[in-house]
Structure 1
């Protein structure tokens, strides 16, 4: 039997993990597989090891693993594959295929536009959009988020779009907030490129409150991505990629 194993990042914030579980359960409803399990890379349970073993115990002879991560960084390239290799050695009779993260997609740009529209504020030539990613030392993260910012810029030619990062990449979110004072703009729309709430979201909210006190510009914090139906569609595409003999299989597994 063919199983699907969804791997989420995990968070110390209980609400974030609950959001992830609720979303994965919605994804499961769209798939015909009898065996479907979710797990977390860190900070929450069940672990990858536990969920993988559960798939085998339920009768899986093949496990399609989907990393529910926004971009391809160290977690997708190294951390998850390291655990999967261990599980493959433990259950050598079970076939394993490892798929792609969500990655760059026009559907993700659709969501960004939706988050901007939700603010009910008019976008003008005096508006600036900061697309804020989690960040990573992996250069592919910056390359991919910069690409997504460029795609959003194409859709909004009269508005400036910039990418910045919360950790381990430049420009940092704090530096970007300081730099906007030099731009001839009145409104700064901030889109957290995060799947769920959590400590990073809380730190962003605090930083915006602080800088707003000393600025005449208006800072508008948009909703984080959330587990949107279009992300669910992308997850479905990643599952489909693992089907059949000509399936895409990640190079990292």
Structure 2
């Protein structure tokens, strides 16, 4: 995209403010951010961990969600802003994929614009931590006891099965975690696998391990809770156990709400509030170009993807047994309401777009606010996804044209086009 210098989407390494490093817990709160699910039991797990973290830290800890559950991040921060002056966002994501690198930083950036009096620190994901490795070993030991096998006396293989991501950085961390679980322990081998999205899939990994004829295979779901994907992992282990009578196999429990997760969350909180968060950038598709992921390079593309995903993602665990399908409107329209565009009338453009969309019988679009789209001075800016068309210098009359032409009939308003992605 020529001429654009869009903002960095994943700001976890950058200081949230120029304030001094906090030395007191007075007037401070934590927002624990989970993914969110239509299954209330998954949301309750986040709230349970938030309560445990509050007991651990001795300061208020609220739960918020990226999508599909309430309160959202902006709602949760707005609630905390009435009683404290500093909020630390702690993320309950296992690995750093798009939610960690784009969705949460975007929500935090928007919250900083809405609450300029509030200092907001953005923390990292759970990641790879010694406490998690210890927890996984205990989960494996429980399965060994169930199968009545002893890794010291027999050949026990472990398969660490994660969800899988379109982000190679996150998938690489699954393999690293598997290796660290293997080091210093008597497992014959520990293999990384995935239940979806990427390879190797669980069934493939199990069949490959069977050729080595281990005495037992322990399958560890690398999930926070008992959901559709965890159940699929259990079913995969049971199927393998039935197909290979010479190998005992079973799946363990997910991470759950074990106190050791509070150890990790406490460390992530301390890192964030002292502006010492470190995230991988050398192999992050939001920062560098990797073979096969050229279209994922960050900046404007990454932010627009985050906006689109946040507005359209639907967790449909109870529909056709598909845990992560998408039920999106035909278009998502993002209107920059940051300072420069706001001064040029973007709030009026936003409302006129929404009104025109409501009046239209053909328009299938979600129209939302956005923070800076990186085209300051060329606004008000309006970005239409998934078409990748950005309109600049939009006024009230132009808003009606965007709806009647582009959103209703699929015809780009060419004289308004600023850039295309």
**Fold match (TM-score > 0.5):** yes
Shift of 1:238: 1.2
CA-based RMSD: 1.9
Deviations 1:205-242 (A, max 9, x none): 22233333322121121111112211101111111123
Deviations 1:157-216 (A, max 9, x none): 451100011222221123223323322213110001111111111222222333333221
1:37 equivalenced with 2:67 (yes/no): no
The aligned counterpart of 1:173 is 202
Which of residues 139, 143, 147 in structure 2 aligns to 1:115? 139
1:55 equivalenced with 2:83 (yes/no): no
The aligned counterpart of 1:75 is 99
Distance 1:19 1:163, change over 3 A: same
1:239 equivalenced with 2:265 (yes/no): no
- Aligned residue for 1:242, secondary structure, equals helix
> What is the CA–CA distance in structure 2 between the aligned matches of 1:158 and 1:19, rounded to whole Å?
31
Shift of 1:14: 2.4
The aligned counterpart of 1:94 is 118
> What is the CA–CA distance in structure 1 between the aligned matches of 2:38 and 2:227, rounded to whole Å?
8
> What is the CA–CA distance in structure 2 between the aligned matches of 1:214 and 1:184, rounded to whole Å?
13
Which of residues 42, 46, 51 in structure 2 aligns to 1:25? 51
Query: What TM-score, normalized to structure 1?
Result: 0.90
Moved more, 7-16 or 20-29: 7-16
Q: Give unmatched runs, 5+ long, in structure 1.
A: none
Higher relative CO (Cα under 8 Å, sequence separation at least 6) belongs to: 1
Deviations 1:33-88 (A, max 9, x none): 2x43111112222211211111112x222211101112211111111111221222
> What is the CA–CA distance in structure 2 between the aligned matches of 1:126 and 1:205, rounded to whole Å?
21
> What is the CA–CA distance in structure 2 between the aligned matches of 1:188 and 1:79, rounded to whole Å?
37
- Aligned residue for 1:38, secondary structure, equals strand
Native 8 Å contact 1:41 1:80 kept in 2: yes
Larger radius of gyration between Structure 1 and Structure 2: 2
Which of residues 218, 226, 230 in structure 1 aligns to 2:256? 226
Shift of 1:250: 5.9
> What is the CA–CA distance in structure 1 between the aligned matches of 2:36 and 2:173, rounded to whole Å?
22
1:248 equivalenced with 2:280 (yes/no): no
Which of residues 244, 249, 257 in structure 2 aligns to 1:215? 244
